[in-house]
Amino acid sequence: MPRIPRSKLARIAAIIVLTVAITALVIGLGSRKNLQPKHYVQLILDGFRGGSIYALMALGYVTVYTVTGIINFAQGEFVMLGALISISVYNMPLPLPPAARLVVAVGSSILLTTLIGIIVERVAIYPARLSPTVTLIIITIGVTITLRASALLIWGADPYVLPAFSTLVLEDHIFRFGGVTLQAQSLWIWGTLAVVLVLLYVFLEHTITGKALRACAVNRRAAQLVGINPSRMSMLSFGLAAALGAIGGIVMGPVTRPIYDMGLMLGLRGFVAAILGGLVSAPGAVVGGLLLGVVENIAAGVTNPTYKSVVAFVIMIGILLLRPQGIIGRGETGGEQ
């Protein structure tokens, strides 16, 4: 392990040196592949798009982890359910114009997935709440397999299509400027992330329930002593995580082709993003997600894209070994009580 400089000045100097070194490496590798500035802009833009989805997923991990101490590996399946349920509802022959159908589809998908999250907590987690955390984590893996297998039975093995939000058909608007392309759906994804963050902030900071949830995250025993029911909060955290997952699945639906087994890799990437952010902080999760998306994309762009998934997991191992409190954490470790 490298010696970390003690003084603030040395630390800033180290960060600058590191940044310059990495930038030089990236540009060096990129020039060997003949990459131009517009390619970097494209890589960063698309990285932010993928990163926003990781951020939403990471928020789900953080919500459950801080309140219950559980790493909920079923988070990716909530994303899958959100996407597939919204598609099923959208394709129902409702006597509504397409835009209204989409709104109904989005609303009912979020509600249903939230309900599934709550049911999962009540059926699988609550009865085992007195077991060690490891047992509960293993249970979430069981939940993952159950949800994925159920999805295969319901939706079959074919990929589905959710129309782009702006055009309401499969083909999206594409903005082009100077050789860089941007799909209109990317704007929807960023907008959604922003709105979710604001709502989450208002909920956690300005409502009694939100404050109770935070109290539970800070110290479960103390929260119980002031009359907060931790079991209710655990249920709420799963519902919230499921809703966040569903929102992620829905907004990314038009840029992917949702399929029953999409949750696994997404879930793992979201987990890496949460780890980057230290697992206990919501802003950390968002920064972690965005950073992962961009770093992954640039690394893939300047090296061989085949290794894209490798990048994410190398980052995860590196962070867990060197900075388990996350890159923007202030040194506090896990929410375990």
Residue ranges binding other proteins (CB under 8 A): 33-36, 39, 42-43, 45-47, 49-50, 149, 152, 156-161, 169-171, 174, 181, 183, 252, 255-257, 259-262, 264-266, 293, 297-298, 300-301, 304-306, 308-309
| CB 264 to other proteins: min, Å | 7
Q: Which CB atom, from 233 or from 255, has the smaller least distance to other proteins?
A: 255
Report the alpha-carbon angle 297-298-301, nearest 5: 85
The secondary element (H helix, E strand) that includes residue 180 is strand 180-183
Q: Which CB atom, from 47 or from 239, has the smaller least distance to other proteins?
A: 47
| CB 303 to other proteins: min, Å | 9
Q: Which CB atom, from 161 or from 327, has the smaller least distance to other proteins?
A: 161
Q: Which CB atom, from 65 or from 73, has the smaller least distance to other proteins?
A: 73
SS3 letters across 211-248? HHHHHHHHCHHHHHHCCCCHHHHHHHHHHHHHHHHHHH
Nearest in space to 109 (alpha carbons), one of 289, 246, 264, 281: 246
Q: Which CB atom, from 42 or from 72, has the smaller least distance to other proteins?
A: 42
Encoding tokens for residue 250?
């829905």
Encoding tokens for residue 186?
């990317």
Q: Which CB atom, from 228 or from 295, has the smaller least distance to other proteins?
A: 295
Alpha helices in 5-97 (DSSP H): 8-32, 37-68, 75-90
| CB 248 to other proteins: min, Å | 12
| CB 7 to other proteins: min, Å | 38
| CB 39 to other proteins: min, Å | 4
| CB 81 to other proteins: min, Å | 17
Quote the CA–CA distance of 319 and 330 in Å, as a whole number: 14
Alpha-carbon Rg of the chain, whole angstroms? 21
